[in-house]
Amino acid sequence: MEIQELRNLRELLNASLEADLAVLNVNVLDPYMVEFRLTDMTIHQGKIIAMKALRAKKILDAQGKYACPLLIDAHMHIESTTVLPSELNDFLIPRGVGMLIADPHEIANVAGLTGIDFMLDASENLDLDVRVMLPSCVPATAFEHAGASLGAEDLRPYLSHPRVLGLAEVMDKDAVRYDEDMLYKIGNARAMGKNVDGHGANLDIDDLDLYSAMGINSDHECVSAEEARERVRRGFYVFMRQGSVADNLADLLPAVTLKNFRRFCFCTDDKHPDDLLDHGGVDAAVQKAIRLGLDHAVALTMATHNAATCYRLASKGALSPGYDADFFLFRDLNDLTAELVFKGGEIVAENGRLTHPTRRDFPVPDSLANSVNFAPFSEKDLAIWLYPNRKAHVMNLHAGNVLTTLTIEETRVDEEGFFQVDVSRDLAKLCVIERHHHRGNIGCCPIRGFKLKSGAIASTVAHDSHNLVVVSTNDADVLAAALEIKRIGGGYVVVEDGKVLASVPLEIGGLLTAKPLNQSLASWRKLHEAFAKISDADDFNPFLMLSFMSLPVIPDVKCTDIGLIDVARGKVLDIAVYEEEK
């Protein structure tokens, strides 16, 4: 703070100058005492300067309403919402969500540094504060082909960017143990005083010790209370996740106590647009935790001050002198609906509506506008040969969880010994087609869980390399789906008997659209209606689930453009199972 600013502050506190705003009769969240306290609050030049009423140009009587710092989503991928940051600004700010800790991992896997630059540019000068964690694993593993590869030297200059907070979810544990470049990524971030986030799926105690010793200090992949406790014991921050596919919040809440709650935050990780519109963002996670019995002040402290402390954001996450005047007012502790939203002491939203327009002037690079580039293929390229046996490795998905399991089963084959889909047993075919550089790689495997009766669904949203992923009951519809994906520039499609039933174009990198969030809702509704015509599955989001079927860092098995991957053993599996494997 400059000397003149300090001088002005002193004069304001001495009542020699007028402040900008005094908020009277407001129940302020106190994250230090973990309580709400009825008080007054004075704001000047975007900062809170006193917890009392000073002489001010404007007076607002809050009439006992509650004030909470703007909520922080501690880990998320903007790309999963399929819309641009400006659209998230318009949706989240009126709900009291003020900051996203975003990992542009998805768009970086498609377009490398161009993707990171685009996301930084597109999130500049918004009321929604988008902070970025640099993607640590592009590609996620050596078992897939992404659109780019980013090393430590590629990322190092970005650590100086004012909105870059560090290195995002380190998910490749073998790279942490053995890869020299990963050490430089972690070391460069730590040398700059930046955070290193973890991705702790499938980590044992030794792995956790290694991660913690290297300065990796958070994890959003916990699926049980005991996993959360193991991480907190090692000083990790645990991000309790309520996403559109992975929702572990209820399972983790028993781990939260008054002794350890300072190490817990909330995150959404991956939030699909229809889920976002229907239920909200990280605000929905906080509301759910309160509904499940978590103390109001504890929950809101976790969603604000804890996250700000985790990411070393000294002026965020509290309503105290010296902190940014970013907060929202609401009436009922059991209903966090924001009535007024303040950013820098100015009202930016009122009763669910923004008070001013949002910037939308940013160009889309050619590499993102033309990103679907798979090599030509035929039905023969999709065949799975099981001769002389019928037994095959089968991937099994489970509703509500991105973990998959592996079974060995006898399957149907044709007269030449090739695998045949069996809808009576919920056995379909999963195909992952490299779509970045015309490599021609295609990985296929039997899959259970989508309950397809006919047709196919396809997507260019396929964590983490975002190749073209298709689950189908027949190979002809795989080709039809791929051609439609190419035509629309990426996105989601539902096909039956060669006919496109519905599609959602994602013309930016095959991940995002420039369309407004509410305008795309109708397309999403039609997509889900089309899926319901060809499938009996109704207990999970099939399109978001599909996007995780090729992520080879989440156990037990996943399929990439290389083939079926045993995640724990780090190897490619033959689909056919021979007698000696019994």
Give me the helix-helix angle, 517-534 and 85-92, nearest 10°. Answer: 100
How far apart are the C-alpha atoms of 344 and 326, rounded to whole Å?
Answer: 6
> Quick one: tokens of 162?
């004012």
- pLDDT of 1 > 80? The answer is no
* Burial (Cβ within 10 Å: 0-12, 13-18, ≥19) of residue 110: buried
Which of 271-280, 289-298, 545-554 holds the top average pLDDT? 289-298
Q: What pLDDT score does 387 carry?
A: 81
Cα distances from 168 to residues 74, 116, 132, 136, 206, in angstroms, run 11, 13, 8, 6, 21
Contact, 470 vs 71, CB < 8 A? Answer: no
pLDDT (tens digit per residue) in 534-546:
999 999 889 989 9
The reported pTM is 0.91
Instruction: Provide the pLDDT for residue 576.
Output: 96
Count of other CB atoms within 10 angstroms of residue 139: 22
- Cβ-contact 548, 463 below 8 angstroms: yes
Quick one: pLDDT at residue 172?
76
What is the average per-residue pLDDT within 329-356?
Answer: 98
Instruction: Give the whole-number percent of the chain exceeding pLDDT 70.
Output: 99
**Quick one: pLDDT at residue 404?**
96
What Cα–Cα distance (Å) separates residue 445 from each residue in 370, 388, 558, 572? 28, 17, 9, 12
pLDDT, averaged across the chain:
95
Q: What is the CATH number of domain 82-260+274-301?
A: 3.20.20.140
In this predicted structure, which of 202-206, 229-233, 329-333, 441-445 has the lowest mean pLDDT?
202-206
pLDDT tens-place string over residues 432-443: 999 999 999 999
> Based on the number of CB atoms within 10 Å of its own CB, is 373 exposed (0-12), middle (13-18) or buried (19 or more)?
middle
User: Contact 214/176 with Cβ under 8 angstroms?
Assistant: yes
* C-alpha dist (Å) from residue 64 to 97, 264, 388: 21, 28, 76
Tell me the per-residue pLDDT of 466-507, one tens digit each, with 9 for 90 and over: 999 999 999 999 999 999 999 999 999 999 999 999 999 999
Cis, bond preceding 357 (omega within 30 deg of 0): no
Residues 6+ positions from 2 with CB-CB distance below 8 Å: none
Average pLDDT over residues 89-111: 98
pLDDT digit string, tens, across residues 560-581: 999 999 998 989 999 999 865 5
Closest of 558, 365, 360 to residue 443, by C-alpha: 558
Q: Where are the domains of the chain?
A: 82-260+274-301, 370-581
**Would the pLDDT of 245 be above 80?**
no
Torsion over CA: 460, 466, 470, 476 (sign): positive
SS3 336: coil
**Structure tokens given for 242:** 């309520």
pLDDT of res. 582: 46
Per the CB < 8 A criterion, the answer to whether 133 and 313 are in contact is no
If you search the block for the tokens 């014991």, which residue do you land on?
233
Residue-wise DSSP of 185-242: HHHHHHHTT-EEEE--TT--HHHHHHHHHTT--EES---SHHHHHHHHHTT-EEEEEB
The residues, ordered by sequence, that sit 6+ positions from 231 with a Cβ below 8 Å of its Cβ are 200, 208, 219, 222, 238
First to last CA, the chain: 70
DSSP string, 540-565: S-HHHHHTTTT-TTSSSEEE-SS-EE
On the question of a cis peptide bond just before residue 464, with omega within 30 degrees of 0, the verdict is yes
472 or 389, which is more confident?
Answer: 472
**Confidence at residue 16, expressed as pLDDT on a 0 to 100 scale:** 67
Classify the phi-psi angles of 82: left when phi > 0, otherwise alpha if psi is within -120 to 50, otherwise beta. left
* Virtual torsion, Cα 199, 201, 205, 208, nearest 10 deg: 0
What would the 3-class secondary structure string for 285-332 be?
A: HHHHHHHCCCCHHHHHHHHHHHHHHHCCCCCCCCCCCCCECCEEEECE
pLDDT of amino acid 554: 85
DSSP 376: P
Lowest mean pLDDT, pick from 44-53, 140-149, 313-322, 495-504 = 140-149
